[in-house]
Structure 1
Amino acid sequence: MLTDDTYIARCLFLLGEWDAALAVLGPHADPALRAEIAVDRWFFRIEGHGEAEKAVAALEPASPAAHLLNGRLAYSRLLFGRHARPDDRVVAEAGYRAAVAGGDEMRRAWAEYHWAVLLDNIDQDPAAAIPRYETALETAVKAGDGFFESYIIRHLAPHREPAETVAMLRRSLHLRAALGARPQAVAAQALLADHLAEDDPERAELLEASRAGARELRIGWLVSED
């Protein structure tokens, strides 16, 4: 059963109120939740890397959670070109591989997804990425996890035909909006807008809404494109 502090922190986390979520967690809170929030804040805001790394370092090093979050940190350093290290590519894949080998079903699926993103965005190897996306998607759909599904189909969509791409991106947005996942919904608005025609009225509305949301939440990689 969740404690009140944990429940409140998870609600704030979903809203993109990362600082507030971390602030309400007491000293005895689940360190894995604290680390996940800190890593997520770093990814969206591109700030607080040191705090995220410290939070992950507080986990049991051999745990699937530590492996997955270390992989995510290394991947994001590569993606953003911030705090990058020579071994980040190796560290990212090793973390995902270990999480796949040692985690429960959902952790394995999340690791497969993140591994696919690494292959897709860093290696530019969609042929290797797509089967991992599809493996993760099968688990997400079976579990009825719309939040997880929204992540996977967002990345699978660009590898489909244009009409299917737009349909998948729209579904990703709707899933996130229904769950109240605000940072993810803002990101989904921006990506869907990028795949609509320049003269499509929906595109202008999506861009207006996503820019406002990105500024308020300080989503670094969206604000920089504004």
Structure 2
Amino acid sequence: MRSVVLLALVACGGDDDPCGGVDGTCVAVRVTSSTIEAIDQLELDVLYGDRHGTSATQPGGGGTVSLPLTTSVALDIEAESVVGVVAAGKLAGNVLGTGAASTTVRPDARATIELVLAEPAACVAGAFYCGGDKLAGDPQTLYQCNGGGVPLARGRCAFGCVVRPTDDDVCDGGPMTCMDGGFYCGGNELAGDPSTLYRCSGGAGTAPMRCRDGCVIAPAGSDDHCR
């Protein structure tokens, strides 16, 4: 997995650039809230290109830091990428608020996003949700509810994310139908989780196998596979 480096939390008010001194690609992150005054930990889930990483940071020297605050995310990318970030602000181990934002950044460039933390809705730990359906995130990305922490991105949905009130949300499989016996990542010719590999049967995914480091969509004529 390419690296995700989250730097220290700093309360706003100064002129310091949170990406100052960072070599390579850096996303400056400004965190605000209308309801949360201070946190002692910030967890970030970062999805960029076909890669995913999580990180957490605390104020230097301990204690709490007042909002608004700034931090930065250093990324190792090789091409222009959409970077999606979901945050969870915590105090004494409890999640006070979550928020999400995205931007596009080029290699060795700088970008800035603002995350607005709000009280999270209740989601079922371990279940899958489209962003905005009971958890913070991009509506076209599928996430896993992480009880007591930041929502975890499973991957972007190329053909849209489908909200299913009585079951896990899924990435739509698109206009093509999978071939029986073939292996496909969710969201590629069958509905499912983009980080899970399925065997096609009757146009649907069966025998799901979760991929530890993401699922790779192969060229036409070849089976998809776990990275």
Q: If the length of structure 2 is used for normalisation, what is the TM-score?
A: 0.30
Q: Which has the larger radius of gyration?
A: 2
Q: Which has the higher helix share?
A: 1
**1 or 2, which has the higher strand percentage?**
2
